[in-house]
Structures are given as C-alpha cells and as structure tokens.
Amino acid sequence: NAGVTQTPKFQVLKTGQSMTLQCAQDMNHEYMSWYRQDPGMGLRLIHYSVGAGITDQGEVPNGYNVSRSTTEDFPLRLLSAAPSQTSVYFCASSYGASSGNTIYFGEGSWLTVV
C-alpha cells in the first residue's frame, strides 16, 4: 500500500516553462488536494477535488491547473512557471470530502523556478 505518491521529488524550471507534478493515491479516496508550503507560512490550498471529474479552486489557484479524470490521479500543471512559484508542493487525500477525515500527504515536491 503506497499511500500518496508524488513525482518528481525535485525539479528546477526556467521561467516560462511548463510542467506537471504527478500525484497518485491507492486508497480509493474521494478527496484530493494540492498545497504549497512557503517559509514562514502555513500550507495553502491551491486546488482540490471531491471526486473524478470535479475540481475547484483553493486559496492560491493562479498559475496552476488541475484535472481529475480518475479517482487515483490528480496532476497539478504549472502553465508558465514564475519565480513566485518556487515552493514545496504537497498532494493530499482523504476518504471523504467532509471534515473529520484523516488526511494523508505525499512526500512533497521541491520546485525551483529560475
């Protein structure tokens, strides 16, 4: 049981490049989400999904795109990378979208945009 798997672990991008952070979970969880973690700040929600085919914006969605074609996968796309998107990204999932469900996190993806 792998839990939540994120790839890549580390990535360096040039300004303007695009890339996709992959996230997969094998727990049949309905709810999946992407967060970014910046120094001195709490985790901030980028996008989330309550099931296949359903996505919504979080607190900081600009510059990012998501889709959820299957229950297992929830990729995060950076459309045109900017230095402000240098951050650590975490994918998370939980059994249901309602509050009170245990949250499972991936190992994180360190992204640097130069």
Partner 1 sequence: KNEVEQSPQNLTAQEGEFITINCSYSVGISALHWLQQHPGGGIVSLFMLSSGKKKHGRLIATINIQEKHSSLHITASHPRDSAVYICAVNLLGGSQGNLIFGKGTKLSVKP
* Contact status: 108 vs partner 1 (CB under 8 A): yes
**Best CA proximity match to 13, nearest among 104, 91, 108, 110:** 110
Q: Which amino acid is at 5?
A: T
**Best CA proximity match to 68, nearest among 22, 107, 6:** 22
* Contact status: 105 vs partner 1 (CB under 8 A): yes
With CB under 8 A as the contact rule, the residue among 12, 54, 103, 114 that binds partner 1 is 103
With CB under 8 A as the contact rule, the residue among 51, 58, 63, 75 that binds partner 1 is 58
CA diameter of the chain? 40
Of the pair 14, 96, the CB lying nearest partner 1 is at: 96
* Contact status: 52 vs partner 1 (CB under 8 A): no
